[in-house]
A = this chain, B = another copy of it.
């Protein structure tokens, strides 16, 4: 069974190839729980299950032009790890449509039985 560190290393490697959606298929548990700090206009804060989480990922990829991205990590601690993401993107829809921006984000992942069972996202607010 893979450790959290091993799952984190695979997740980072796949994200570095820009294949975030592939990571979901390969590394996530069927009952994965994905938690945002807040609900969005069309999105609950918490989603459960591969289908919902895949849908969220797909929506993000389809609605952002990604100029560049970088990934740092994993930072392991027991059955969890943190990954830092840096995206230079232009949203294709929504209130920020067409406005190029830098998104900085930390993901806190919990591994159970060798799969990602939970992901929680933390966003950087200036400074």
Is A30 on the interface with B (CB-CB < 8 A)? no
Please determine whether A104 and B75 come into contact, CB atoms closer than 8 angstroms: yes
Copies in the complex: 2
| Residues of chain B within 8 A of A80, CB atoms compared | 122
Given the contacts A9-B127, A106-B82, A106-B106, A37 and B76 also touching, CB distance less than 8 Å: yes
Nearest chain B CB to A23's CB is how many angstroms away? 15
| Residues of chain B within 8 A of A74, CB atoms compared | 124-125
Given the contacts A12-B127, A106-B106, A127-B12, A122 and B72 also touching, CB distance less than 8 Å: no
Q: Could you say which of B78, B104, B108, B122 contacts A76, with CB atoms under 8 Å apart?
A: B122
Which 9 residue pairs of A and B lie closest in terms of their CB atoms, listed nearest first?
A75-B122, A37-B77, A77-B122, A82-B106, A75-B106, A82-B122, A75-B124, A75-B123, A77-B120
